[in-house]
Structure 1
Amino acid sequence: MKKILFIMLMIATTIFAQDNYSIDTSYTIKSTYNKLIKKYPFITVAQSQSNIAVTEIKEVIYQKHKDRALHLDAFFFNKQKNNPAVIMIHGGGWRSGNKNQLQDMAREIALKGYSCFAIEYRLSLEAKYPEGIYDVKNAIKFIKDNAIKFNVDPNKIAVLGCSSGGQMAALIGTTNEILDFEDKSFKSKSSSKVQAIIDVDGVLAFKHPESSEADMASFWLGGTYAEKPENWSSASALSHTNKVSPPILFINSSFPRFHAGRDDMIAILNQYKIYSEVKTMENSPHSFWFFQPWFTETIVYTTQFLDKIFK
């Protein structure tokens, strides 16, 4: 009986110890599909195929924290030497998800003439804000340092994120070279500056009339708004939007709470004549990018925007 209870407990929990840190495996493409299929019976999981024009190099270590290695997966168009790069940040409420969830998207974007990188970063069970931001910025520096290896033009870098990854992408882009958001211990000859942002259904402001961020955000940010108001503000891309912010594409579901602060941000960008686009997937769920028919549409909107900015 005790053995059965132990097995049931292991199945019920989504938290597993691994080395000296824990991971939450609750946010997966499969679990999301099972959650959505009743309401959206027409959806299928998007899949891509390997292509000889795209070189794939997986599990590249870009940084180590003591014994903890952080990896990225590279997918780059090999028919030209200086591709614009797309840094890709997975979602999962800052707590779950993994870089593998963006591999299909990376392959498809790379095939259009880009170098794409799905990034592993430390999640909230392992490290609180702003450590995950540091990780992605360090990955950007690593990619620039190794630009020749990955066919990257280091002056043409976009950051793309989905859900919580979209929030991170917008924050990374709007804090270009702000020292408070740089890991000073990471040695690199390059900067973490990016030239474009693609925010796929990620909030722009944590404390906002449209926002409903609660436990997940509080856990990552080190406390509730009442406890850590400075983190809730500094982690919001809206707080940093100004005359030097990069162009941005917003790809959104039909749920306003996942783009809280977007319209306020666009108003600031418009003041400074900074280019922005909004694409809304009508009648779509959150996490639409995993599934057809929205996956292909997401790739089209993304590559059209990147072509406009970089080509």
Structure 2
Amino acid sequence: MKSIITICFLFTTVCLWSQGKKDYPVDTSFSIYGSWVKEKKKFPHITIAEPALTPAIKVEQDIVYRSVGNRQLLLDIYRPAKAKKKSPAVLMIFGGGWRSGDKTHNRAMAIKLAGQGYVAVSADYRLSPEAAFPAAVHDLKAAVQWLKQHARQYNIDIHKIATLGCSAGGQLASLIGNTNGNPFFEDSTVKQRYTSDVHAVVNIDGTLAFKHPESAEGAVAAQWLGGTWEQSPATWTNAAPLTHIHPQSPPFLFVNSSIPRFHAGRDDMIKKMDMWGIYHETKTFPDTPHTFWFFNPWFNEMMDTIVSYLDKVFKLKK
């Protein structure tokens, strides 16, 4: 564990040092190490999940998938080294309150997914210090389109693409799924050959509604949404995945901690999904911190749940 702490500390230090080297604002306040330090006070038994990277998994890092002016957005790809057929792909979206975090936060989950035959893709996107809503959605939908465009190169089945996100990333993963075909959430300045439609969603503790009896979103959401609820009610409503659920929405897996505020809108969405016959699963881990997905003892069971769900929905999809 000491070596893990040292590595995480050095990584955080490098990120803080490199902040001045960026030509766009960077918030490094959210990190795996910082979450571990915070949560181990209440959960002293937790350890950071670090699955082994084996030769069976091929990794390609820092691939440019989108340019916005001089800004290059990057993604990392983890995939089976010797896949015999096209593989489903999972676009992984990190959390951090729409203002912090980076694609490396998904490394552990990406390794596990690639080990189970999936092409796991972790993408950076523009955060609130750099660009307000809906910029992040435009970026991530562009990432889906990039995956389809490069499907042959990475052996991807373009008809089996999922989004998976944690916390703020879970909100984004859900919004992307529920807005398949919605032109507002596409960057109209760029003509695309492929759609940004996805076929399954995994929401890990991401809110489904910003203004809701169960929600506790405030200043952090307001920074991303360009104002408070009182100032921008239409934006707060439009950014909520619950607003856009419809009969053709993809299947969902909700993976939740024991903290109710991160389930906001979930039960209302499930009622609508049941009414329209949309497949869904829910897995709640009792007595867990919000950032449980980073840590043992929950990591392996969480990944087993995710892989089982993806195997099921993609096996059913022809």
Report the TM-score range of the alignment, normalised by the length of the smaller protein.
over 0.9
Aligned partners of 1:16 and 1:195: how far apart in 2?
36
Q: CA deviation at 1:16?
A: 3.6
Q: Which runs of 5+ in 2 are unaligned?
A: 1-12
Residue aligning to 2:63: 60
Q: CA deviation at 1:298?
A: 1.4
Tell me the matched-pair count.
301
Q: Percent identity?
A: 45
Q: TM-score, normalised by structure 1?
A: 0.94
Aligned partners of 2:49 and 2:291: how far apart in 1?
12
Q: CA deviation at 1:58?
A: 0.5
- Paired residues for 1:20-169 under 5 Å: 20-77=23-80, 78-169=82-173
Aligned partners of 1:80 and 1:45: how far apart in 2?
32
Residue aligning to 1:291: 295
Deviation sequence 1:6-54 (CA, Å, 0-9, x none): xxxx9xx999444321111010000000001111011000002212222
Residue aligning to 2:5: none
2:261 pairs with 1:257 = yes
Q: Partner letter of residue 53 of structure 2?
A: S
Q: TM-score, normalised by structure 2?
A: 0.92
Contact 1:133 1:181 in 2 (8 A): yes
SS in 1 for 2:306: helix
Q: CA deviation at 1:113?
A: 1.0
Aligned partners of 2:308 and 2:36: how far apart in 1?
27
Q: CA RMSD in A?
A: 1.6
2:244 pairs with 1:240 = yes
Aligned partners of 1:211 and 1:14: how far apart in 2?
35
Deviation sequence 1:96-138 (CA, Å, 0-9, x none): 0000010111010111111010010000000000000000000
Q: CA deviation at 1:66?
A: 1.5
Aligned partners of 1:162 and 1:209: how far apart in 2?
21
SS in 2 for 1:23: coil
Q: Partner letter of residue 71 of structure 1?
A: L
Q: CA deviation at 1:185?
A: 2.2
Aligned partners of 1:304 and 1:142: how far apart in 2?
26
Aligned partners of 2:147 and 2:90: how far apart in 1?
10
Q: Partner letter of residue 198 of structure 1?
A: V
Q: Partner letter of residue 285 of structure 1?
A: P
Aligned partners of 2:296 and 2:98: how far apart in 1?
25
More helix by share: 2
Deviation sequence 1:218-276 (CA, Å, 0-9, x none): 00000000000011000000000010110000000001100100000000000011001
Residue aligning to 2:202: 198
Q: CA deviation at 1:164?
A: 0.3
SS in 1 for 2:267: helix
2:218 pairs with 1:214 = yes
Q: Partner letter of residue 67 of structure 1?
A: N
Residue aligning to 2:4: none
